Structure 1
Amino acid sequence: MDDQDKIAAWMDAQGLGEGPLENIAEIGGGTQNIMLRFERSGRPYVFRRGPQHLRPISNKVILRETKVLAGLAQTDVPHPRLVAVCEDTSVLGDAVFYLMEPIDGFNAGESLPEPHASDPAIQHAMGLSMADALARLGAVDHVAVGLADYGKPDGFLERQVPRWLSELESYSALENYPGPEIGDVDGVARWLEERRPTQWQPGIMHGDYHGANVMFSRTGPELVAIVDWEMSTIGDPLLDLGWMLATWRYPGQDTVLGQALMDAPGLCTPDELVEQYARNTTRDLTHINWYAVLACFKLGIILEGSNARAAAGLAPKEIGDHLHTATLRLFERAQQLIEGAR
């Protein structure tokens, strides 16, 4: 029995249609997780599981995603609707998986379709829609939606700088990695520790909120779903806004990650993102520059990990070079934000 038949048999037991899976198509994305779209009894589904060769935490990550999606079902946050979860690894031999409803939309990371590609007003509103959706996420009461134990918010901000400095230090164990030549890491770390906010309100964090992890309406600027919840947790939601600012295109500067939306001429400014978020939140945005610097610091160190792995022959050199350039830009942005805050 192949995997399609095993999934169909499991769906039989869940009362989810009958007969074979039809019109199966692979869905690409930024991760190695396997995603398929198919139909059964005329209803469309999206299937998601970990990579073909599971890592030790792959199943845990997939099940965490299902937990946050189940919690979001009670909210106005745009997200893929969870249909059913299979926690039984014996069904596919090793992997847990889940089914969700397809999203009628597109990912703006790679390209913009029409009318988005040629309408600066739509491009401008797409960024504002991202800020709106993020504010909605930040407004969710995570305890009320069953996510009280989804993360460890106590000490969340205090853990960030030591955690990521330790991650950067760990790269030195990789063969042929010359060390992190990425800017004044220690200086940025000191600035973050000296100015860390002392009061904040815990909430759901997406953890990787940028233009390639959301989907937009095919007809207008509306964000229709936030996707890829692998890095979600309970922490300080303002770090998600900082992450958005860290990856946004600033006037007169290169983009950090080179996404289609970031190259659009009508793109709104970082200040407009903050203003739009502020209209839809009760959170104190006084220290938003601090969160943007922390996001540059954290994301830069994460991306430098690919450069270190490439040096050791564990990742393609061109990917390592590309992400190293992104890290340099992130630490340059961190310095600019620090200078602007003085």
Structure 2
Amino acid sequence: MGDKIFHALIRPAGPDGFDLDEAAMVEWLTSSGLDHRLPLRATRIGLGQSNLIFEITDADDRRWILRRPPLGRLLSSAHDVVREARILTALAGTDVPVPRIVDLATDDGVPVVLMEHVAGLVIDRPVIAAALSPQHRRAVGIALPRTLARIHAVNLDDTGLADLASHKPYAERQLKRWTAQWERTKTRDVPRVDRLAERLRAAIPPQRELGLVHGDFHIRNVITDPVGGDITAVLDWELCTLGDPLADLGSLLAYWPQPGERETDSFAMCALPGFPSRAELVTEYVAATARDVAALGFWHALGLWKIAVIREGVLRRTRDDPRNQAIGAVPTIAQIDAVIDAADAAATHAGL
């Protein structure tokens, strides 16, 4: 895996698009032992604003997923699809539902990953969530913390992931990383972001365990069964690391507005009738893991602060190169500021 080198496999075409080099793609599919019939087409998919994701489809409607880093200037350790491929390969034999990695190659010096296409429903738009029954929404919502519990049950030694990241205290590492990220990608000065970082740094809880942390676990990063609502695949592992499992639960809550909160946010759909409340998500997670969640308020506030930093980075990358923009709208300054407001409120509520 990873010994194939292509030139212009996915080629930027004009200011807004991409072209697929069909001959190079045929060579890759053939060398990977995958049946296919021409013509092939590549379609940009997903609302994710980080790595670029393409669905490769052949004449018989067979499908594969190709992932590559975004265009333009990349920060160190960001958008690492090679590392993500390692994680997915390691998780293939576990209880965590993940897509199978087909191959890893290099395209004009940029790593690209080819993986299986997992059929199902991705609830990444309000119109999709609105079309579901309240019962279906509840099933999906309850499946999220239960799936998170399966991720946190992964044995690091058995999967070979014990050396994936540092074993040093996770909260300190996160604050250092995302503070640096903010400084490198911010589009304006926002003193409250720096003050929040200081409040969080002064309130870091003791770390009692080290486990696999997805790093960006939310409703748009999973594929669900369109009938029963179970989660059939967890996606977007590029921020996966080793740390405190409660960080993932805090992030899930940060991506889960309640009625009346962040109504212009792309995740406001999580407040639709049927979806469980944040408290119910926590109850399900505790029932599945028996973990002490006394420090969850800290991780919720940190999760919101981190989302604000991430969205500021999305705004920066899109301004640098408009082709990085996904189907969804680019975060606005007002939306980012609303998340900063929510982080500030969550920190105050937690007594930080």
The letter for the 2-side match of 1:206 is H
- Report % sequence identity: 30
Determine the C-alpha separation between the residues in 2 that align with 1:307 and 1:98. 25
Matches within 5 A, 1:33-48: 33-39=52-58, 44-48=62-66
Determine if contact 2:85/2:113 at 8 Å carries over to the other structure.
Answer: yes
Deviation at 1:55, TM superposition (A): 5.6
Residue in 2 that maps onto 1:280: 288
Residue in 2 that maps onto 1:156: 170
Go from structure 1 to structure 2 and tell me whether the alpha carbon gap of 1:7 and 1:239 turns closer, same or farther (over 3 Å shift).
same
Determine if contact 1:215/1:225 at 8 Å carries over to the other structure.
Answer: yes
Determine the C-alpha separation between the residues in 1 that align with 2:295 and 2:225. 32
Deviation at 1:25, TM superposition (A): 4.7
Matches within 5 A, 1:122-271: 122-171=136-185, 177=188, 179-180=189-190, 183=192, 185-186=194-195, 188-255=196-263, 257-259=265-267, 261-271=269-279
Go from structure 1 to structure 2 and tell me whether the alpha carbon gap of 1:334 and 1:149 turns closer, same or farther (over 3 Å shift).
same
The answer as to 2:67 corresponding to 1:49 is yes
Deviation at 1:271, TM superposition (A): 0.5
Go from structure 1 to structure 2 and tell me whether the alpha carbon gap of 1:269 and 1:39 turns closer, same or farther (over 3 Å shift).
same
Go from structure 1 to structure 2 and tell me whether the alpha carbon gap of 1:162 and 1:113 turns closer, same or farther (over 3 Å shift).
closer
| 1:88-127 alpha-carbon deviations (Å, 9 max, x no partner) | x3xx44343333222111211114559x724112112211
How many pairs align?
326
Determine if contact 1:242/1:295 at 8 Å carries over to the other structure.
Answer: yes
Deviation at 1:337, TM superposition (A): 2.5
The letter for the 2-side match of 1:127 is G
Q: Which moved more, 1:156-165 or 1:55-64?
A: 55-64
| 1:30-78 alpha-carbon deviations (Å, 9 max, x no partner) | 24524223348x6934131315857667997121111011111111112
Q: 2:109 aligns with which of 80, 89, 94?
A: 94
Determine the C-alpha separation between the residues in 1 that align with 2:23 and 2:61. 17
Determine the C-alpha separation between the residues in 2 that align with 1:280 and 1:33. 34
Determine the C-alpha separation between the residues in 1 that align with 2:241 and 2:38. 33
In structure 2, the gaps of 5 or more residues are 1-6, 10-20, 323-327
Q: 2:95 aligns with which of 64, 76, 97?
A: 76
The letter for the 2-side match of 1:7 is M
Q: Give the aligned CA root-mean-square deviation in angstroms.
A: 3.3
In structure 1, the gaps of 5 or more residues are none
The letter for the 1-side match of 2:113 is Y
Residue in 1 that maps onto 2:347: 338
Determine if contact 2:212/2:240 at 8 Å carries over to the other structure.
Answer: yes
